[in-house]
Structure 1
Amino acid sequence: MPPHRLPAPPGLKGFLLCCTGLGVGVAWDALTGVYPSGWIGWLTLALALGLYAVQISLAFGDRPAQGRWVLGALAVLVTGMGLAYGSGWLYMFPLVAVACALVVPFGRALQVALLALAAVTASVVWFNGDGISPIMAFSWGSFSVGVVVGFIVHLHTVIAELEHTRRLLAEAAVAEERLRFSRDLHDLLGHTLSVIVVKAEAVRRLAVRDPGRAAGQAADIESVGRQALTEVREAVTGYREGTLATELQRARETLAAAGVAVVVRRAGEPPSAGAEALLCWVVREAVTNILRHSTAAEAVFAVEATAEGTVLTVRDDGVPKDSGRPPGSGLRGLSERLAGVGGRVTAGPLPEGGFEVRAVLRSAGS
């Protein structure tokens, strides 16, 4: 049986004070001359109360297993003195029940231990020549006290575990929010910086032979930079929203600047606002992958409503620049984002050539 370690004591003073009240009977016997010598009563009472105090400190400390040995010694002492002198020592059996409830795990083990203690109590009371009423009173009193204390300790333990779980859940929520935020920034900045790089290359190529177009591309870089600042601020506050149509238009303009022709196809009912926001992330990641890792001349963006939900497919006809490269963190983050709402993302080369990113968002009724 594993050690029964308790959390921070629920009213430790109360457990210590109960021994004072239950020891009054033994103290009275010592004062009225029940024992052959007065010191016997005082010494054994001090020993019993000391064992009880040590057992409590062990139960709430870091050595709960050793408390069982102390409990055994306390039970033997109370039983022996009860058999020898009876009287006030009979009131010490509830003290043993309290100590038992602090050491034995709540449940069947505690029930068996308390039933055994009740049987011992009844036997000691019967041995002292008392009738059925005292037998029932002392045995039932010991059992019920142990059950009540055991339930209180068990309830306190459950509350402590729930509080610990609440703290863990709060820490997990913070970690999840940090992951979401880092994923958003990665997708935002990765896409934006890729666009800036493409347009900067266009400016470099056009600077000599067509300054006018070069100036236009430079203006686009400024616009993209300002838009990125706005998006980062909105991501920080958690209110970033966008439409799929706007994102597809941005994708068309961005890829056109890189020499990639874009075809957009839409069919079926338009997705919900929440689905559009997620599909915008898919479009950004697909555009980023084409700009960074592909030699495509054409890309097709297809959005359609099917039986399995809203499907966004992005296909290009290029050959990946680094086909042996494992999937990047962008696709992994995208998969985690969609998996959180029951969607999925697949990405890989096509048998006939090219590359495909396919995202599926299940509709509310599917």
Structure 2
Amino acid sequence: MTKTAAPATDRPRGPLGAPNGFTLLPWLLLGMGAVSNIFQGQTPQPWIGGLGLLVFNSLYISIVFRAFVPATRDAPSTRISLAVLAAVTLALALAYGDSWLLFFPLLGLATGAVVRGRWLGPVMFGLALVAGAVAWRHEGWGGISGILYGTFLSGMVTAAILALAETVAELRETRQELARAAVEQERLRFSRDLHDLLGHTLSVIVVKSEAARRIAPRDMDAAVAQIVDIESIGRQALVEIREAVTGYRESSLTDELDRARAALTAAGIEPSVSRSGPPLSPRTEALLGWVVRESVTNAIRHSGAAHCSIQVSAADERIRLVITDDGAGVGSAAPGSGLTGLTERLAAAGGTLRGGPAPRRGFRVVAELPADESTG
């Protein structure tokens, strides 16, 4: 059975760079004074102190490692372990004082690693007050400040550092996700460009090849002319594919209209092309050029039309392209087709693309873009 990797947010941070449970282990050296007291016989009932030290260290290690995994950090068992750690710390500090008071800053570290959000400040403030009160009981007023501030600051600084580390990790994951999205977007762009380029070019090559085959028996010179056109179209297609790969293709609408007129004529469809209005921006010309290319390709392939009209008009607010044929009313607006991809492209530029049966007969494609897209 294949194992599914856990989400990145549910994994402990790696040992390189980002903090992890090992980062908080060296602070256990604060308890070496208590260990020294036990071995030097300065602790009454040393076996109780040793047992308490063992329980404290075990709970502390468990908590700090669980704190770096969001799923276990927020688990009730971790909160219970933290509460038990606090009770053990309080009992040891009340019983022995002296070096045992330094377990309060360690408790602050564990608390800062676990508690998040609006509860962090009140919890750490209350914990610091308890630590200060216990220190006052054993050391008087002179021993309060170090334990009180040490407990409070250890928790707040730990929480701040870990929150910053988690934010950095999330930013890295976001950057990786954006990179993956950019790759997917580029793949989509290339697939659309390749579809539009090859679909149109191959359709024209097929039409011209059929024309050359039909007229070759009676007019070889005309057939050779068609073959020369096929060679020219193939060479131009290679250039356009290279431009599409590098992402620099900016199709001129005028060139696309000329190619559409030639392709329709070669297919036996009478073209009618009209254009009015001010010059358009390169981006708008490129988008409308793709629509012309795809729609004319569909008309040649599917419509069986005798006439195809292409009208481009630019007004103050909208730029409108209408392509209408008088064929059988068969279009290519199904999901996954070229027109669907072009619809997404125009929508990204604030425009629309609609395809469907013409009012009387045939198929019509209407593309619109906002006029501000026409400003260079």
Normalised to the residue count of structure 1, the TM-score between the two structures is: 0.89
CA contact (8 A) 2:271 2:308 kept: yes
> 2:63 maps to which residue?
55
Aligned twin of 2:135: 125
Distance of 1:119 and 1:242 partners within structure 2? 73
Aligned pair partner of 1:309 in 318, 333, 337: 318
Match of 2:252 among 243, 261, 271: 243
2:52 aligns with: 44
Task: Indicate yes or no: 2:373 matched with 1:362.
Answer: no
Deviation of the 1:116 alpha carbon: 3.2
> Deviation digits for residues 253-311 of structure 1, max 9, x if unmatched?
11001111111111110101221122211110111110112122111211121133322
Q: 2:357 aligns with which of 336, 349, 358?
A: 349
* Higher mean C-alpha displacement, 61-70 vs 236-245: 61-70
Identity across the alignment (%) = 48
Among 191, 209, 215, which residue is 2:218 paired with? 209
Tell whether the 8 Å contact from 1:4 to 1:59 is kept in structure 2 after alignment. no
Amino acid at match of 2:121: Q
Q: Distance in 2 between matches of 1:324 and 1:204?
A: 28
Partner SS state of residue 287, structure 1: helix
Q: Which residue of structure 2 aligns with residue 169 of structure 1?
A: 178
1:157 aligns with 2:136: no
In structure 2, how many angstroms separate the alpha carbons of the residues matched to 1:323 and 1:272? 28
Structure 1: 5+ residue stretches without partners: none
Judge which range, 83-92 or 263-272, deviates more: 83-92
User: Over aligned residue pairs, what C-alpha RMSD do you find?
Assistant: 2.5
Note the C-alpha offset of 1:192: 0.7
* Residue in structure 2 matched with residue 335 of structure 1 by the alignment: 343
Alignment-derived partner of residue 229 in structure 1: 238
Identify unmatched segments of 5+ residues in structure 2.
Answer: 1-8
The aligned amino acid for 1:110 is: L
Tell whether the 8 Å contact from 1:301 to 1:312 is kept in structure 2 after alignment: yes
Number of corresponding residues = 360
- Equivalent of residue 69 in structure 1, options 80, 97, 114: 80
Q: Which residue, out of 189, 211, 228, partners 1:219?
A: 228
The TM-score with structure 2 as length reference comes to 0.87
Where does residue 96 of structure 2 map in the other structure?
A: 85
Q: Which moved more, 1:191-200 or 1:108-117?
A: 108-117
Deviation at 1:159, TM superposition (A): 0.5
- Matched with 1:259 is 268
Q: Within 2, Cα distance between the matches of 1:293 and 1:172?
A: 35
SS across alignment from 1:259: coil
CA contact (8 A) 2:287 2:346 kept: yes
